[in-house]
Amino acid sequence: MSEQRLTYHARPTMRRPSIVMGLDGWMDGGNVSTGTIETFIAKLEAEVLAEMDAEDCYILSFPGSMEVSSLLRPHVNIADGLITEYGGPTNTFYFSRAEDLILMVGKEPHLRWREYGQALFSLASDFAVRRIYFIGSVAGLVPHTREPRLYSSVSDEALREELAPFGVRFSNYKGPASVVTYLMHEAPRHGIPMATLVAEVPAYVEGRNPRCIGAVARNLAGILGLRVNVDDLRLLGDELEERLSEMIREHPELQERIGKLEQDYDNEVFDMQMGDLKTWLQQRGIRPD
């Protein structure tokens, strides 16, 4: 059944690739999840590997107001009476043979998590995948002028040791699960370690956030040992920061709140990552904060 969901467009010979996946949905604030994968697809000139037929995994309409129903319905473009685009949910796999990497970008399924997962793990088995990483994001108390914090959950203790040198923090959470949590719970049964890399992005910034996408892409490249130039995203992030800062300067109360947020963020980063230096300075009567 899981194989029937997959349509292969290529059968490349790969060594022991990793899968990096991003999903439009619950954990795609700032388009960090899908945007990071799309960045790697473009930078690595990745080719289409396979598509997953998962339309029955989605709720496409829901009784109620148009405001609610429109959140679930496929997007369509009609120009001068002619349908030019119909965008139903898609889940597509790409590959970079040179980097021994499989990239997957899709939409978080509402239904049939087990069948969705079986299709993913079937493809992983076909290519002897060694790791699966999910890239995501959540809204948090991060100022737009700072790099996002990166949190992780892992299916295997060994992954904690692999990720710790990259400044990743490990999650403590109780609450509603996502399909990603389900996949990570199932991963050991398939013999494939899986980890999430979730960026905490500014809660007050709407839309695509190139600064956060670029930061996550750089961290991911380091973890995977890839050379990927994302300077273009850094420039776009700087432009976004300047526009937001100009708007904030026109509102003194908001500027004060953002300033306090920056101070709290910087102090926490200092405490977490530079604790020994802070202690050394305090012993000499120097207050770093």
pLDDT at 142 exceeding the cut of 70: yes
DSSP string, 56-82: GGS----SS-HHHHTTTSPEEEEETTE
Neighbours of 257 (CB within 10 A): 14
The sign of the dihedral angle between the CA atoms of 117, 122, 125, 126 is negative
Domains of the chain: 3-54+89-230 (3.40.50.10900), 239-283 (no CATH)
pLDDT at 132 exceeding the cut of 70: yes
36 versus 142: the higher-pLDDT residue is 36
Q: Is the pTM of this model over 0.75?
A: yes
What is the per-residue pLDDT across 158-203, written as a single tens digit (0 to 9) for each?
899 999 888 899 999 899 999 999 999 999 999 999 999 999 999 8
pLDDT at 1 exceeding the cut of 60: no
Give all strands (DSSP E) within the chain, no chain letters: 6-8, 18-24, 47-52, 75-79, 82-87, 92-96, 101-107, 131-140, 149-152, 169-170, 194-202
- 86 CB-near residues (< 8 Å, 6+ apart): 74, 75, 76
pLDDT at 107 exceeding the cut of 90: yes
- What share of the chain has pLDDT > 70, as a percent? 92
Taking residues 151-157, report their average pLDDT.
Answer: 93
**Lowest mean per-residue pLDDT among 24-28, 49-53, 93-97:** 24-28
**Lowest mean per-residue pLDDT among 25-29, 80-84, 110-114, 131-135:** 25-29
**Lowest mean per-residue pLDDT among 40-54, 179-193, 258-272:** 258-272
What is the C-alpha separation between 125 and 128, in angstroms, rounded?
5
* Mean pLDDT score across all residues of the chain: 89
Evaluate whether 261 touches 254 at the Cβ level (below 8 Å): no
Supply the pLDDT for residue 66: 81
